[in-house]
Chains A and B, each alone.
Chain A
Amino acid sequence: MVALLQVQNLSVGLPFSAPLLDAISFDIAESERVGLVGASGCGKSLTAGTLCGLLRTPLRVLAGSIRLDGTSLTDASPATWRAARGRSVFQIFQSPGTALTPVRRVGTQLAEAAQIAGRDTKAAVSQALDAVALQPDVTGLFPYQLSGGMKQRVLIAMALILRPRLLIADEPTTGLDVLTEHDILTALNTAADETGASVLFISHDLRAVRRIATRTLVMHAGRLVEDADIADLAISKAPAARALATAATALQNPC
């Protein structure tokens, strides 16, 4: 398979101090769905931010390379990043509550995505909302009028409109109840099926990862310590991967 995303020896952090992401390397093939798991603070969200060029100052890429769809993004100009964002790579954020601009209606924010993707606004917004099981009248509402799960579905609808080659979902089900979590994961799979996008699904919950991907990357303290099938994590040589698998199994035990 052709690699859509190639990450080589990527290190991120502050100059002259220990890196927060330490020489991580992985590939994601076209239309492949990959899970990225690890304990809180291990560098998952930082990896997502780096792949979207959304590092918070003063963090920066210290070494290594990112190639997405044949384009090197490591030393890319702001214009190259702008062209890549939305169309080549898009990210759904961890906190749906704060991810939408509070003073703009949902419809306006979705229409903006349609304009970037060069699609017919009305049709694209309506199809996307239908795919994530949201009523068309949400377009007239402001974000504060939606529940957390609805906001997350709006973000997935945005991804459906943008049709990126790589969709990064950074813990999209955190803080949601199990029913809403089920709806979100279904919507995410629908989005990936419809757009053919590769997915990097970030979570600390192996149950959720299993719904989206089989191949799983495990991070620990800024390093990538495992790249294996989710079913094999329990027999991994990496203690962090085994610990995650053990914890997931323990949580699934009936009460």
Chain B
Amino acid sequence: MLRFILIRLAVAVPTLLGMSVVAFAIVAIAPGDPVMMELRALGVVPKPEDIAALRAEYGLDQPFLLRYLDWLGRAVQLDLGTSIATGRSVVTEIAMRLPATLSLAVSALIGAVLVSVVFGVCALSRNRGVAACMRGLTILLVSIPSFWLALLFIYLFVLTIGWGRLVSDGTWSDLILPALTLGLGAGASLGRVVYERIRAELSEDHIRLAIAKGLAPRRILISHIAPRIVGPLATAWANTFGALLGGVVIVESIFGWPGLGQLILQAIAQRDFPVIQAYLVFMGLIFFTMSILADIVVFFTDPQLRRTLSDD
């Protein structure tokens, strides 16, 4: 097991390096310049020598490769630079907001997993009405954009019923609406995966044998189908978590959730390169961690793979 994780981590080094190049390059080749943005924001009419001085201060006058190597050298020591907009350390800025974003994304993922299991299993119901309703609801929820669902929830629960509030201070009760907004669509989409996986398993001989033995459907689902589909589902959950982290930006802004969303939107508007780069690297790292966790689930649920890897 330990060997499997170590190999997986070793393979990850080039992936992470590639990811850092892409993160750095995307920002470096994007149009716009933080120096010009800052000077404009201050209402200063920049003279060419002011611009040159500020660019030299932030190291923006150096060639791309040198800037990248310098940035990488500091990044491995967890020094991701200073925000051009606020002047604070980027790591501090991210560390302040990351827990709120992670708690929202994790809550949304847990909600999505629960919704997907309920939708997926109900869509297989013998009752044709229930099955058709679930399939219809799935298509509806997958099709609704999250920002629209967010506005609907705000209208219903905040403005009409008064169960929530618009400006959040990060308390747990304020997490419910944004987590639902994110989780419902993702859950419905994952529900299709659960439904298809279970349907594929139901036509397998080993499930027919379990039925022939006289096992109850619930027992077959839990003991014979679930252990087979949990590995592929874990991979789908890891991918969904990545998508949720992306979707968090919009939903956080709509609900005023004090996470990374507002920070990154502001950073993009101000071309705050160090913040954007650090955000991309952090998101990549989180996505990568989730995919390792999914691999570990696959490892534990597939006896043949377990044996093969321990023999190698």
Asked whether A176 is an interface residue with its Cβ less than 8 Å from the other chain, the reply is no
Contact of B302 among A56, A86, A103 (CB under 8 A): A103
B205 contacts which chain A residues (CB < 8 A)?
A: 93, 95, 98-99
| Known contacts A83-B214, A158-B213; is-contact A103 B208 (Cβ 8 Å) | no
A102 contacts which chain B residues (CB < 8 A)?
A: 206, 228, 303-304
Once the chains are docked, how many angstroms separate the CA of A133 from the CA of B262? 69
Asked whether A116 is an interface residue with its Cβ less than 8 Å from the other chain, the reply is yes
A54 contacts which chain B residues (CB < 8 A)?
A: 208, 211-212
- Are A142 and B304 within 8 A (Cβ)? yes
B304 contacts which chain A residues (CB < 8 A)?
A: 102, 142, 144
Q: B235 → chain A, closest Cβ, in Å?
A: 16
| Known contacts A56-B203, A98-B205, A112-B223; is-contact A103 B301 (Cβ 8 Å) | yes
- Are B224 and A101 within 8 A (Cβ)? yes
- Are B206 and A100 within 8 A (Cβ)? yes
Once the chains are docked, how many angstroms separate the CA of A158 from the CA of B214? 12
Chain B window 213-236, contacts with chain A (Cβ cutoff 8 Å), 1 for yes, 0 for no:
111100000011001100000000
Once the chains are docked, how many angstroms separate the CA of A12 from the CA of B239? 44
- Are A99 and B206 within 8 A (Cβ)? yes
B residues 148-195 with Cβ under 8 Å of A? none
Contact of B215 among A100, A116, A144, A155 (CB under 8 A): A116
Asked whether B47 is an interface residue with its Cβ less than 8 Å from the other chain, the reply is no
B126 contacts which chain A residues (CB < 8 A)?
A: 78
- Are B301 and A112 within 8 A (Cβ)? no
Asked whether A67 is an interface residue with its Cβ less than 8 Å from the other chain, the reply is no
Once the chains are docked, how many angstroms separate the CA of A144 from the CA of B126? 33
How many of A's residues come within 8 Å of B, CB to CB?
Answer: 30
Q: B206 → chain A, closest Cβ, in Å?
A: 4
How many of B's residues come within 8 Å of A, CB to CB?
Answer: 23
Asked whether B204 is an interface residue with its Cβ less than 8 Å from the other chain, the reply is yes
Q: B162 → chain A, closest Cβ, in Å?
A: 46
Q: Which residue of A lies closest to B207 (CB)?
A: A101
Chain A window 138-176, contacts with chain B (Cβ cutoff 8 Å), 1 for yes, 0 for no:
000010100000000001001000100000000000000
Contact of A116 among B203, B209, B213, B302 (CB under 8 A): B213
Q: A216 → chain B, closest Cβ, in Å?
A: 24
Q: B220 → chain A, closest Cβ, in Å?
A: 10
Once the chains are docked, how many angstroms separate the CA of A155 from the CA of B213? 11
- Are A142 and B303 within 8 A (Cβ)? yes
Q: A42 → chain B, closest Cβ, in Å?
A: 20
Asked whether A242 is an interface residue with its Cβ less than 8 Å from the other chain, the reply is no
B211 contacts which chain A residues (CB < 8 A)?
A: 52-54, 85
Q: Which residue of B lies closest to A90 (CB)?
A: B212
Chain A window 72-115, contacts with chain B (Cβ cutoff 8 Å), 1 for yes, 0 for no:
00000010001111110011010100111111100000001100
B207 contacts which chain A residues (CB < 8 A)?
A: 101
Q: A148 → chain B, closest Cβ, in Å?
A: 13
| Known contacts A93-B209, A102-B228; is-contact A144 B303 (Cβ 8 Å) | yes
A53 contacts which chain B residues (CB < 8 A)?
A: 211
- The interface centre, meaning the residue of B126, B209, B228, B303 with most chain A CB atoms within 10 A of its CB, is B209
- Are A85 and B213 within 8 A (Cβ)? yes
A85 contacts which chain B residues (CB < 8 A)?
A: 211-214
Q: Which residue of B lies closest to A162 (CB)?
A: B213
B residues 52-95 with Cβ under 8 Å of A? none
| Known contacts A102-B304, A112-B223, A142-B303; is-contact A90 B213 (Cβ 8 Å) | yes
Once the chains are docked, how many angstroms separate the CA of A82 from the CA of B214? 5
A155 contacts which chain B residues (CB < 8 A)?
A: 209
A78 contacts which chain B residues (CB < 8 A)?
A: 126
Asked whether B210 is an interface residue with its Cβ less than 8 Å from the other chain, the reply is yes
- Are A98 and B212 within 8 A (Cβ)? no
| Known contacts A142-B304, A144-B304; is-contact A101 B210 (Cβ 8 Å) | yes
- Are A86 and B208 within 8 A (Cβ)? no
Once the chains are docked, how many angstroms separate the CA of A54 from the CA of B208? 7
Closest 9 CB pairs of A and B: A86-B214, A85-B214, A98-B205, A101-B206, A142-B303, A103-B227, A86-B213, A99-B205, A91-B212
Q: A82-B214, A100-B206 are in contact. List 5 more A-B contacts (CB 8 A).
A: A52-B211, A86-B213, A93-B208, A101-B224, A102-B303
- Would you list 8 pairs from A and B whose C-beta atoms are within 8 A, ordered by A residue? A52-B211, A56-B203, A85-B213, A93-B209, A102-B303, A103-B227, A142-B303, A144-B304
Task: Give me the interface of B with A, judged by CB distance under 8 Å.
Answer: 126, 203-216, 223-224, 227-228, 301-304
